[in-house]
Structure 1
Amino acid sequence: MAMLSGDATGRLMKYDPRRKQVSVLMRGLAFSNGVALSQDKSYLLVTETTLFRIHKYWLTGTKKGTSEILMLLPGTPDNITKTTNGEFLVAVNSPTARALAMRIDGEGRIIEVLDVTFISQTISEVHEHDRRLFLGSVTVDHVGVF
């Protein structure tokens, strides 16, 4: 219902275990559905499913505490993970019923796109391990390996 209604009440929050406090870093996200920390821990990438985009939230440096739209996607992102070399993998489901695994960098450049519709019409997760991609979906009862 949140996707269909255009709900934009999603938030990116930070928990401080020493102070036992939660603070809100970003507000107004439309079905935020994935977050990944950069290799150097200077920023986070946050997916926003219903608006087809990825935000970059700065944790350090001169832009600390600010966010920007990193990139617009050709479909709805459903989770994002960091690879061992510092790139990111995004599961993207396009309106044309194509499931894509996209490899991007922290600047929003697309490095690689893999059409994974052979696994499922939708994918929810792309994870890299031992030079293989593991693809998950909420619509099928198996994991694809590429």
Structure 2
Amino acid sequence: MPTKDLQQPRAIRPETLSGDDPLLRLQAESEPDDSIRIRTTLRSDPITITGITVMCPQCGARRDWLVICDVPGRIFLRCRCAHQWHEPELTRADFNAMVSEGGQKYPSLEAVARDTGHDGTLAGTYLPHDLNAGACG
């Protein structure tokens, strides 16, 4: 009996796309799916809706927002004084236009607020634009 008939065929490796990191893919697939489904981004510039600049009804701030989008697509704004409200005039498309690439994952909205200074500890403080770069959840 020839030896070529006894050999098992080798498994064919799937082709990987450029930039497709198997370790990152495994990490993403193994993360629990029970996490809070909220996306956030920071917006240091003022937000204008229908020609009117948004202002915090509690402290009067006009910039340095934490913009929050939940699963149904509702948009909430949170000020550095920790006041948060639903902004019905903003849509998911508006949120997507504000979102930057990258960012950091947080276990909860409270952790995002704490790490970005939107938990009340920096109430009344405006930070330079470059300090907010890259921080989003």
What's the TM-score, normalizing by structure 2?
0.23
Which is higher, the Rg of structure 1 or of structure 2? 2
Greater helix fraction, Structure 1 or Structure 2:
2
Which structure exhibits the higher relative contact order, with contacts defined as CA atoms closer than 8 Å and separated by 6 or more residues? 2
